Amino acid sequence: MGRWRRKSMGVSCELGFLNMAAPLSVEVEFGGGAELLFDGVKKHQVTLPGQEEPCKALGARNHLDLTLICSVPSSPGDIRNLLVWIKKNLLKERPELFIQGDSVRPGILVLINDADWELLGELDYQLQDQDSILFISTLHGG
């Protein structure tokens, strides 16, 4: 991260110049019939773009002395953000069979790196590069 600092005539400004966070690559897989909502494709290699938080004023000793810092880039997100991305980019039909509110429908088992997502914080799990996310439908029509 580069920094620029200038102080003249009582004005101090510090700005951070940051690149975007590196994109995350995760494997998303659907099974148990859930893949039918995604054109029958079971495995998807997904690249989520990095994000940057906006600059913030940190405070001023007087109206002429202001410090601004562009904060550190955030990660591309959590499972909640991944579900939004999946709905927008992968889900081909009948979203109500996969998404309910901001989560998956009851009856969809979610595994993150072969572990039940309930053990990892569910929607709040912070995605890591090369994570494997598996969605399995446990509901079967008859």
Q: Where are the domains of the chain?
A: 19-51+75-137
pLDDT tens string for the chain (142 positions)? 444 444 444 444 444 444 456 788 999 999 999 999 999 999 999 998 876 544 455 554 555 554 444 444 444 589 999 999 999 999 988 999 999 999 999 999 999 999 999 999 999 999 999 999 999 999 865 4
8-state DSSP, 120: T
pTM, to two decimals: 0.69
Which CATH architecture group holds 19-51+75-137?
A: Roll (3.10)
Residue from 26, 22, 18, 71 nearest 49 by CA:
22
Which phi-psi region, left, alpha or beta, contains residue 101 (left: φ > 0; alpha: ψ -120 to 50)?
A: left
Specify the pLDDT at position 118. Answer: 96
Integer CA distances (angstroms), 8 to 5, 26, 28, 70, 91, in order: 10, 47, 53, 21, 55
Report the amino acid identity of residue 101. Answer: G
